[in-house]
Amino acid sequence: MRRRRTDPVTRLLAWMAITVIALPIIAIFVKVPWSTFFTSLRGDGSFTAVKLSIWTSLLAGFICLLLGVPLAWWLAKSGDRVTTILRPIVLAPIALPPTVAGLAMLGLLSRTGLLGRPIFKIFNWQMPFTTSAVIFAGIFVGLPFLVLVSESTFRQLPRDVQDAAEIDRATPAQIFRQIAIPQSKSGIVTGLVLAWARILGEFGATMMFAGSLPGTTQTWTMQIYQELNISQDTAYALSLLMVLISVSLIFFLRKPITQAFAS
């Protein structure tokens, strides 16, 4: 099939869009102190924060996968009455400003919070200021992305395959595990990547809810923010590392991502 050419106005606008996105990223490459790149990264606790961010975001992403895929399937199978009420609640964190999300989690889990108070009474422990708060905040902000994309993919599954499986007396659990999940792999992976990227980039809500302590709660993004006050070189070096990770991740997963959105 021959591709149709686009009109000049569309192309102009498209190029403007590309410029808006690409130039700031290019600026990071230009501003990074290449000659001292590695020494500036080796500075105080940079890698501690990077390590903390990576393992907590991976764990939070895995929990999102574990809980989010069943929820997405349930939403995809439910009637309008359930989804009209549930979907806005589940997707709310996408639209919530980080400070509101942080306050919400404090309201629930700090030792004066709704659940936090009884937990503190019984266990003499509260979630804020611990690494588990970083993970919880990650799940809170990441889960909606995974559910959103997975549900959309589940809804596109051809009805007749499921019907055929039902005629062959497949149980609902079998249909979910052996048909729905394998058929929707690209959507689930895309959702997971979006969720993980959101978790890795999380800043405001975590700062409010988990605090900022090197090695325990100070994540990569918080380290960048703090370095801005100390050494801009290190801040740029840490930022570049993050750009490289995000861009290469999207590059390697370009196939499933295109599939999930194009079908």
Residues near another protein (CB under 8 A) are 91, 94-99, 106, 110-112, 126, 128-129, 148-149, 152, 155, 204, 207-208, 210-214, 217-218, 225-226, 228-230, 232, 261, 263
- Considering only the C-alpha atoms of the chain, give the largest distance between any 2 of them, rounded to a whole number of Å: 70
Q: How far apart are CA 172 and CA 166, in angstroms?
A: 8
- Rounded least distance, CB 148 to another protein, Å: 6
Nearer to another protein, 28 or 170 (CB): 28
Structure tokens at 110: 């700090």
- Rounded least distance, CB 44 to another protein, Å: 10
- Rounded least distance, CB 194 to another protein, Å: 9
- Specify whether the CB–CB gap between 213 and 129 falls below 8 A: yes
Structure tokens at 2: 């021959």
Nearer to another protein, 57 or 226 (CB): 226
Nearer to another protein, 77 or 111 (CB): 111
- Rounded least distance, CB 97 to another protein, Å: 5
Nearer to another protein, 60 or 207 (CB): 207
Phi and psi at 65, nearest 5°, equal -65, -45
Q: How far apart are CA 170 and CA 190, in angstroms?
A: 28
Nearer to another protein, 96 or 243 (CB): 96
Identify the three-state secondary structure at position 216: coil
Q: How far apart are CA 43 and CA 146, in angstroms?
A: 35
- Rounded least distance, CB 193 to another protein, Å: 14
- Specify whether the CB–CB gap between 183 and 69 falls below 8 A: no
Nearer to another protein, 21 or 167 (CB): 21
105, HSE (Cβ side, Cα atoms, 13 Å): 29
Nearer to another protein, 70 or 214 (CB): 214
254-262 and 185-201 helices, crossing angle to 10°:
110
For the beta carbon of residue 44, count every other beta carbon within 10 angstroms.
Answer: 14
- Rounded least distance, CB 220 to another protein, Å: 16
- Rounded least distance, CB 106 to another protein, Å: 6
- Specify whether the CB–CB gap between 203 and 222 falls below 8 A: yes
